[in-house]
């Protein structure tokens, strides 16, 4: 009897020890070792590859139905194919080793079928062991405008943003240099070491001194506060001094002229004086009305633009205030932000919320998600926006932005030539809206270290606007 009880206890202890061993093992692999398993490519790659073999990922399309990303092949032989690598910073990539990026990341749950499908469809997929079929994501991008933007921007770093100011739809989002997502695994070791950083999205994350394009914000503040009108006169000799700091007047800005001329011909001395009159607190307030110092609500990551390195409301005095008013100082901004500044002029003073995704369609064609116009900020009154638009038109029709003119259309615009560092070339900027009578397009162009805005950035904008306006007008 005792021997039987002893044997039973031994077996029970053995079983208990077995359960404990299993529990410890499960705890280790599921909790303690989980981060390493997820982070270590030799484990996660195999796991993700297996999961991917059971998913037919949805397509990414432009606004006209042009396929930008799609899955080709089935099972273990499937691969993600990108038809227009130039859009990589908008479309992104889906890679089992390097993960998801841009729209492939932001809308991954729709693309992989885990969201946007009916319960019956999900149950049928599970019950019948069918591959999960993802939804299609339709972008606001027009690949025809995008192609022209990429070609016009050319080699070297820079960005172009084109949007509809009345809807917030992004029509083109070019960031150079870019990379080919189709060969990401092969190229990645070189991409991360590249000096020109092709992995970086300059259009939404890049921060640059805006140069004279910021005068658009300065003049809107001066007009709205009632300090200036289009008829206000300025007199400028060879240079003026702000607390001992000389601000030179270009030859074409010497003499007496009105505000229209001062803006169209980008008189730094005049805008330095304007900044001193407006004051640091109000100039900061109007920059914030346009979106500065706030992260732009967008489907992709964005960088907040900067008025000053710290406490701009009190920091902006004297020479820093004057230089900020004409676009230098400690200002930093993104191309997307400056496109929104232009958009406000073309949208009655309202800054639209930018959007890159139009809608999401389930495999049966049902729209399961859609975006619409939403205002983001009110930058100025409608009458101020109309006056600002007149100044921008003068800049193209007879000022420094004349190279942006498109025959048959009235364009409004502002150039910028942003000083970066002693001995370095300037950044070339242009922002604009078109057509001026009923703006359907807003644009921002930057060419890093490109030179003058009027000679470098405006021809890029002209090519893009000419193509975009022909499409808006129904021409082919």
Percent of all residues in the chain with a pLDDT value above 70, rounded to a whole number: 87
The answer to whether the CB of 311 falls within 8 A of the CB of 294 is no
Domains of the chain by residue range: 145-357+373-472
E strands, 337-452, are: 350-352, 357-361, 367-370, 375-378, 412-418, 427-434, 441-447
Distance CA 259, CA 394 (A): 11
Residue of 424, 417, 419, 406 whose CA lies nearest to 457:
417
pLDDT at residue 243 greater than cutoff 80: no
Distance CA 61, CA 312 (A): 42
Task: Report the pLDDT value the prediction gives residue 42, as an integer from 0 to 100.
Answer: 47
The arithmetic mean of pLDDT across residues 246-274, rounded, is: 94
Task: Report the pLDDT value the prediction gives residue 73, as an integer from 0 to 100.
Answer: 84
Q: Is the pTM of this model over 0.85?
A: yes
Q: Facing residues of 367 across strands?
A: 361
* Structure confidence by residue, pLDDT tens digits, 56-100: 999 999 999 999 999 998 777 889 999 999 999 999 999 999 999
| Better-predicted residue by pLDDT, 290 or 125 | 290
Q: How confident is the model at residue 121 (pLDDT cuts 50, 70, 90)?
A: low
Two tokens, residue 149: 């933007």
3 state DSSP class of 148: helix
3 state DSSP class of 90: helix
Q: Facing residues of 15 across strands?
A: none
Q: Facing residues of 464 across strands?
A: none
Report helix, strand and coil shares of the chain as percent, to nearest 5: 45, 20, 35
The arithmetic mean of pLDDT across residues 402-419, rounded, is: 97
Task: Report the pLDDT value the prediction gives residue 45, as an integer from 0 to 100.
Answer: 47
* Structure confidence by residue, pLDDT tens digits, 207-216: 999 999 999 9
* Structure confidence by residue, pLDDT tens digits, 175-199: 999 999 999 999 999 999 999 999 9
The answer to whether the CB of 102 falls within 8 A of the CB of 199 is no
The answer to whether the CB of 399 falls within 8 A of the CB of 408 is no
The arithmetic mean of pLDDT across residues 280-297, rounded, is: 98
Question: What mean pLDDT is reported for the chain?
Answer: 91
Task: Report the pLDDT value the prediction gives residue 355, as an integer from 0 to 100.
Answer: 98
* Structure confidence by residue, pLDDT tens digits, 132-155: 899 999 999 999 999 999 999 999
Q: How confident is the model at residue 241 (pLDDT cuts 50, 70, 90)?
A: confident
Distance CA 16, CA 3 (A): 20
Task: Report the pLDDT value the prediction gives residue 421, as an integer from 0 to 100.
Answer: 87
Two tokens, residue 314: 């009190």
Task: Report the pLDDT value the prediction gives residue 473, as an integer from 0 to 100.
Answer: 75
Alpha helix segments (H runs only) across 28-87: 34-39, 41-52
Q: Facing residues of 159 across strands?
A: 175, 446
3 state DSSP class of 470: helix
pLDDT at residue 456 greater than cutoff 70: yes
Percent of all residues in the chain with a pLDDT value above 90, rounded to a whole number: 78
Distance CA 181, CA 94 (A): 8
The arithmetic mean of pLDDT across residues 389-394, rounded, is: 98
Superfamily name with CATH number, domain 145-357+373-472: DD-peptidase/beta-lactamase superfamily (3.40.710.10)
* Residue 355 DSSP code: B
Task: Report the pLDDT value the prediction gives residue 119, as an integer from 0 to 100.
Answer: 57
Q: How confident is the model at residue 43 (pLDDT cuts 50, 70, 90)?
A: very low
* Structure confidence by residue, pLDDT tens digits, 324-370: 999 999 999 999 999 999 999 999 999 999 999 999 999 999 999 99
């Amino acid at each position: 009897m005792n021997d039987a009880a002893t044997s039973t206890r031994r077996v029970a202890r053995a079983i208990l020890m077995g359960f404990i061993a299993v529990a410890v093992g499960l705890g280790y692999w599921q909790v303690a070792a989980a981060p390493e398993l997820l982070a270590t490519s030799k484990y996660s790659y195999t796991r993700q590859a297996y999961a991917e073999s059971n998913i037919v990922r949805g397509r990414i399309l432009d606004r006209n139905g042009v396929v930008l990303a799609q899955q080709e092949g089935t099972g273990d032989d499937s691969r993600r194919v990108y038809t227009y690598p130039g859009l990589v910073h908008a479309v992104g990539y889906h890679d089992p080793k390097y993960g998801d990026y841009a729209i492939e990341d932001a809308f991954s749950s729709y693309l992989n079928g885990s969201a946007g499908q009916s319960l019956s469809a999900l149950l049928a997929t599970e019950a019948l062991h069918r591959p999960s079929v993802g939804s299609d994501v339709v972008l606001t991008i027009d690949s025809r405008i995008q192609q022209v933007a990429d070609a016009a921007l050319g080699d070297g770093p820079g960005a172009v943003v084109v949007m509809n100011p009345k809807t917030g739809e992004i029509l083109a989002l070019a960031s150079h240099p870019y990379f080919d997502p189709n060969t990401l695994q092969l190229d990645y070791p070189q991409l991360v070491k590249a000096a020109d950083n092709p992995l970086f999205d300059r259009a939404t994350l890049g921060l640059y001194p805006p140069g004279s394009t910021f005068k658009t914000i300065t003049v809107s503040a001066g007009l709205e506060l009632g300090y200036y009108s289009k008829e206000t006169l300025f007199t400028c000799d060879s240079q003026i001094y702000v607390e001992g700091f000389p601000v030179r007047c270009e030859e074409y800005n010497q003499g007496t002229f009105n505000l229209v001329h001062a803006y169209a011909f980008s008189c730094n001395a005049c805008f330095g004086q304007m900044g001193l009159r407006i004051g640091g607190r109000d100039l900061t307030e109007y920059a914030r009305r346009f979106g500065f110092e706030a992260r732009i609500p967008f489907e992709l990551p964005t960088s907040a633009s900067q008025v000053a390195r710290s406490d701009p409301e009190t920091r902006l005095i004297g020479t820093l205030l004057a230089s900020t008013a004409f676009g230098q100082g400690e200002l930093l901004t993104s191309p997307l932000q400056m496109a929104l500044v232009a958009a406000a002029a073309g949208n009655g003073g309202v800054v639209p919320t930018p959007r890159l995704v139009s809608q999401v369609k389930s495999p049966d064609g049902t729209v399961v998600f859609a975006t619409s116009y939403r205002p983001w900020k009110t930058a100025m009154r409608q009458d101020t926006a109309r006056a600002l638009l007149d100044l921008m038109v003068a800049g193209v029709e007879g000022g420094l932005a004349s190279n942006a003119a498109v025959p048959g259309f009235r364009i409004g615009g502002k150039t910028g030539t942003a000083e970066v560092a002693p001995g370095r070339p300037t950044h070339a900027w242009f922002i604009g809206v078109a057509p001026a009578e009923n703006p359907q397009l807003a644009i921002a162009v930057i060419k890093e270290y490109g030179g003058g805005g009027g000679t470098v950035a405006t021809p890029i904008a002209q090519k893009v606007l000419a193509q975009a306006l022909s499409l808006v007008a129904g021409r082919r």
